Structure 1
Amino acid sequence: MLSLSALVWLLLTVILYAGARMLYRRYPRTWLSPLIVAPLLLIVLLLVTGSSYKEYNSLSHWLSAMLGPATIAFALPIYEYRGVIRRHWLSLSAGVLAGMITAVLSTVILSRLFGLPVLIERSLAVRSISTPFALAAAPELGGQADLAAIFVVITGLGGMIIGELLLLRFNVRSALARGAMFGAGAHAVGTVTAHRRDPEEGVISSLTMIIAGILMLLTSPWLAGFF
């Protein structure tokens, strides 16, 4: 039986996100992104009320389940730009492969350098792919899905903020380069940013994100042996 508190947390999550989105539309600042404001407010409320994550997630996990269809929705505009994809398939494939190898190797090296537990290390290994793919790949690697989801969100937010700064610093003009960077480095969060900047850039980011997720799922049994 669902508790009243679980329903309250679900409603609070939706209300806080909607409010944060309205705030961001009025004041479009990176640090006011709904993906930053809403989780921070929820964390504060959980700490103040003494509620556990298990209690919060007992009903709110359905919001996470909606990430799968939302990710697929990113793929819909790809058909309209199939000509761009045919022209640059080799560059995109090589970029995704290089990005995934770099993400996994850097995670393993840094985790062992800082002496992190094995569970953390393997959950971190999927931080550079979108949440639905990470939730499926993390257990295959010996990680924990909940931890992986947290690391994915943190990576996405960090990638979005750093990506914006890098684009300004190096004046990157190619939609292909910008989209691939956001899709590989900040997955869904970066893809939303890319779609807002330019439709073609958003399509490239969507494609990069999806290819990276599929590649991680296909190679996770081999990566488990590597770990």
Structure 2
Amino acid sequence: MITGLLYLLFTLVIYGLSKRLYRVHPKVYLSPLLITPLFLIIVLMWTQVPYETYNLGGQWLSSMLQPATIAFAIPLYKYYNVLKKHAIEILVSVLTGSIVAMFSSAFIAEWMHLDSELVSSLIPRSVTTPIAMNVSQIIGGVPNITAVFVIITGLLGTVIGPLVMKWFHIDNEVARGVLFGTSAHGTGTSKAFELSSLTGTISSISMILAALFTLGVAPMIISLLMH
């Protein structure tokens, strides 16, 4: 119990410090989602602490991810009229993006001759971590590996997203929100809120929809691949 609390506090301290650094220097390579796990990995390897021991405290953070998503209800309520106006565009865009993300992940994994367990771990990489880990477990993947893919996808999305918006002159807040929420889940949503409250809200609903679509479609994709 005490060991778990110590590792939980250690993780929170590292995250808090890295977040403060990111606020002063908002560069993607200084993102708390990148700095925190890298620092933890280095420390655990240096001290030779088994992951199972660290996870006595770390698992509590994973458990808190799911109820934390309830907080997204606040901006959704605030911009309900905008969401209602653009509901069809958002639904179609997110569904298309989610299907493309899953199939492209599957094809890349097959092309690289990864085993079935890694293929299943890679498919739900474009949705928020708690949902991705659950989907991974359902379709036969390894949730912890999926979590790594989710973080990588989110970080890449926050780097590539602004470039895509610049190249294709995407100025519409709804379009920007859909882009970030569908392609970079929670990390992208955090970046979207930096642009505007509306963009962040659209990103939030896109992220949630992408998670629901993935939850429903991923098992079917695995079934097709197995045949």
Answer yes or no: same fold by TM over 0.5.
Answer: yes
Write out per-residue CA displacement over residues 15-46 of structure 1, whole angstroms, 9 at most, x where no aligned residue. 10000111111122221111111111111111
- 1:84 is aligned to 82
Q: CA deviation at 1:128?
A: 0.6
* Residues 55 and 147 of structure 1, relative CA distance in 2, 3 Å threshold: same
SS at match of 1:66: helix
TM-score, with length taken from structure 2: 0.93
Distance in 1 (alpha carbons) for counterparts of 2:215 and 2:34: 28
Summarize the alignment of residues 56-205 of structure 1 with structure 2, pairs less than 5 Å apart. 56-205=54-203
Distance in 1 (CA, whole Å) between partners of 2:2 and 2:61 is 17
Q: How many residues align?
A: 225
Preserved CA contact (<8 Å) 1:71 1:188: no
Q: Is the 8 A contact 1:181 1:205 kept in 2?
A: yes
- State the Cα deviation string for residues 155-180 of structure 1 (Å, max 9, x = none): 11111111123223333211011100
Q: What code does the residue aligned with 1:177 have?
A: A
1:26 aligns with 2:30: no
Contact 1:17 / 1:34 at 8 angstroms: preserved in 2? yes
Deviating more after overlay: 177-186 vs 209-218: 209-218
CA contact (8 A) 2:154 2:188 kept: yes
Q: Could you list the runs of 5+ residues in structure 1 that have no partner in the other structure?
A: none
Amino acid at match of 1:213: A
Aligned to 2:221: 223
Q: Which moves more between the two structures, 132-141 or 119-128?
A: 132-141
Where does structure 2 lack aligned partners over 5 or more consecutive residues? none
Whole-angstrom CA distance in 2 between matches of 1:185 and 1:67: 19
What's the offset of the Cα at 1:184? 0.3
Sequence identity percentage: 38
How far is the alpha carbon of 1:101 from its aligned partner? 1.1
- Distance in 1 between residues matched to 2:110 and 2:147, nearest whole Å: 21
